[in-house]
Structure 1
Amino acid sequence: MQLRHLRYFVALARQRHFARAAAECGVSQPTLSAGLVALEQDLGKRLVERDRRFIDLTAQGQAMLPWAEQILGAMGSMAQAVAATAAPLAGRFRLAAIPAALPLVGRFGDALLGRYPGLHLAVHQATSRVIEQDLQALSCDAGLTYLDHEPPANVIAVPLAQERYLFVTHGDAARESGAAMHWAEAAAMPLCLLHQGMQYRRILDAQFAARGLALAPRAVADSYVALLSLVQSGRFATIIPDSYAALLTGLDWAAIQPMEGAETARRLGLVVLDRQPMGPLALAALDVARALAA
């Protein structure tokens, strides 16, 4: 079994398209297809359902995928550990962040790259559940996510921030400046919110349910950029984490209000997979996060 064939298989599972998987691997499509056939022959199992195009992984392919991801991730960590003994830490650092934690990327990324100039940072947005899966599969080096609500399993966590809610409307529709927004009044507004596949939305739903209220947004999205664009149109209002407030400073259309009454702050922080041996990139992330937390 050859590692490059495993890379072809994992890329195909991720891209679900032969041409895109071949492009990701930097090979021709016939080379990728031949590698997959060789992998299936090595295992004696059919891994991919296909005719002239990709259909899906077989049950055997689905069973193999997390192991293939971990093998490739472990190989990458091993290469990094060997390289780090002879030279400063270098290469790509893969950081996954939930939308609510994206404002933390700047502070963490600046500290990471300042301490390790040989690294370059690759950030992608993901749900908390996907971050947990990616950490287990060794396909990301660290995540920024919630630490208390639906906490990820088998991780080492470093708290970096606490989050509270802010209500945002278009300036023309705002209440008295600085006045708190009542929860019942917010629920009755034409809201745009993240969809319920996002952990932030599930926490928000629980906050309203605890007050005997239910949310029925007029629009849903998977990013705060989309929500704020809808608010800017003048028709909608939204509820965002207070970490986004600094990014709205100076925008004359955005009227920002705190939510009424005390609420329990939610912790956000950095997580890495709790495993031994721990790769040098995960160790670097922990060192930087602990310095920021201190």
Structure 2
Amino acid sequence: MIDKLELLLALAKERHFGRAAEACGVTQPTMSTSLKQLEEILGVMLVQRGSRFQGFTPEGERTLDWARRIVGDARAMRQEINTLKDGLSGEIAIAAIPTALGMVASLTTPFRARHPNVRFRIVSCTSIAVLGLLENLEVDAGLTYLENEPLGKVRSIPLYNESYRLLTAPDGMFGDREQVTWKEVGQVPLCLLTPDMQNRRIIDRALKTAGAEATPTLTSNSIIVLYTHVKTGRWASVMPARLAQTLGLSDAVRTIPIVDPTVTYSVGLVVPQRDPLTPLIAALAQTAREVAPTLEP
């Protein structure tokens, strides 16, 4: 049964029979047979079939919810037994929003000092994708905003509060100021993250509240692209203060607090709403709780 539920989860991820079969290391006929057997066991149709994948039936969507729970518990059981035998080992996959990537090392470094047999895999994606990957068991934890948009069924551990700075050259617009308002920021040609990123939506909302709007001259889904442009001293951007500090901008760039209003958002670790957590994720959550006080400004 578990292997059939794993195939169902793969289909939910890939939305394509051939790619799902390939991801699971089976042939497409084997996958189709296994899914039909699962439908026979449950007595309902799970997948809307045609010449290509068309989606899940209502019963299939509900079965997916159970599959995530059952497969997650089975993986947790195997991991806990292995931990009792060999200690903490294996891989932790973390999905992080771009603005939190600079903080990942604050978690992984103290964790690995305590558990040297654990490996990490870090992926960068939007806040929506973080939650989707977590729900579908494709990652073990996420770093994302905790209060701006619905999180769903997860446990959250606050790590730090994100505030915002205008990054510009000393001779750039408002470059000689000690602080600027959001309305003034709306007058600056900026390079910003793309609109699908929650950080960009936060910036757009803050500007709109101040009666302004963003006028980006460059957009990207990569913080590195923004960073390299700002570092030339010829581009401006809005970035979280902690991220700017982590990136280590050059002397050619000033980081100026943005006020009126002062905007802050909580960023933290999110893990599955499961009891008990797997040993690896429980240890990661504990590390996050220990690290959080050190991340306060």
State TM-score, norm by structure 2: 0.82
Instruction: Work out the CA distance in 2 between the residues paired with 1:18 and 1:254.
Output: 50
Query: Relative to 1, partners in 2 of residues 1:56 and 1:153: Cα closer, same or farther, differing over 3 Å?
Result: closer
Offset from partner CA, 1:139-158 (integer Å, 9 cap, x none): 43222122333363554433
Q: Name 1:265's counterpart in structure 2.
A: 264
Change (3 A) 1:66 1:253: farther
CA contact (8 A) 1:70 1:138 kept: no
Residues 254 and 47 (structure 1), Cα distance of their counterparts in 2 relative to 1, 3 Å cut:
farther
Map 1:63-212; keep pairs closer than 5 Å.
Answer: 63-150=62-149, 152-169=151-168, 173=172, 175-176=174-175, 179-212=178-211
Contact 1:169 1:255 in 2 (8 A): yes
Distance 1:244 1:83 in 2: 37
Aligned to 1:277: 276
CA–CA distance in structure 2, aligned partners of residues 106 and 43 of structure 1: 45
Matched letter for residue 280 of structure 1: P
Report the CA distance between 1:271 and its aligned residue: 2.6
CA distance in 2 between partners of 1:54 and 1:272 (Å): 30
The one-letter amino acid paired with 2:116 is: P
* More displaced stretch, 278-287 vs 46-55: 46-55
Aligned-CA RMSD value: 3.1
Kept in 1, the 8 Å contact 2:164–2:239? The answer is yes
Per-residue displacement from partner, 1:145-176 (whole Å, max 9, x unpaired)? 22333363554433322222122346874654
Instruction: Tell me, in whole angstroms, the C-alpha distance in 2 between the residues paired with 1:205 and 1:290.
Output: 31
1:13 equivalenced with 2:9 (yes/no): no
Deviation string, structure 1 residues 102-121 (Cα, Å, up to 9, x no partner): 11111111122221122211
* Count of residue pairs the alignment pairs up: 293
**Could you give the per-residue CA deviations for residues 191-245 of structure 1, whole angstroms, max 9, x where no partner exists?**
3333444322232233223323233545544332343456578885321112222
Conservation of the 8 A alpha-carbon contact between 2:182 and 2:259:
yes
Structure 1 residue 291: Cα displacement: 2.0
Distance 2:90 2:222 in 1: 29
Q: Which moved more, 1:249-258 or 1:110-119?
A: 249-258
Q: Is the 8 A contact 2:163 2:240 kept in 1?
A: yes
- The runs of 5 or more residues in structure 2 that have no matched partner are none
Paired AA for residue 271 in structure 2:
V
Structure 2 SS opposite 1:259: strand
Q: Which AA in structure 2 matches 1:237?
A: A
Return the offset for 1:75. Answer: 0.9
Kept after mapping to 2: 8 A contact 1:70/1:136: no
CA contact (8 A) 2:10 2:23 kept: yes
What whole-Å deviation, never above 9, does each CA across 1:75-128 have from its counterpart, x for those lacking one?
A: 111111222222211112121222221111111111222211222112223333
List runs of 5+ in structure 1 lacking aligned partners. Answer: none
Q: Which residue of 1 aligns with 2:248?
A: 249
In 1, the alpha carbon distance for the partners of 2:196 and 2:242 equals: 21
2:45 alignment partner in structure 1: 46
Distance of 2:93 and 2:60 partners within structure 1 = 25
More displaced 10-residue stretch of structure 1: 238-247 or 153-162? 153-162
The DSSP-based 3-state class of the residue aligned with 1:140 is coil
Cα-to-partner distance string for 1:38-61 (whole Å, 9 max, x where unaligned): 223333333333444434334433
Equivalence for 1:213: 212
Q: Percent identity?
A: 36
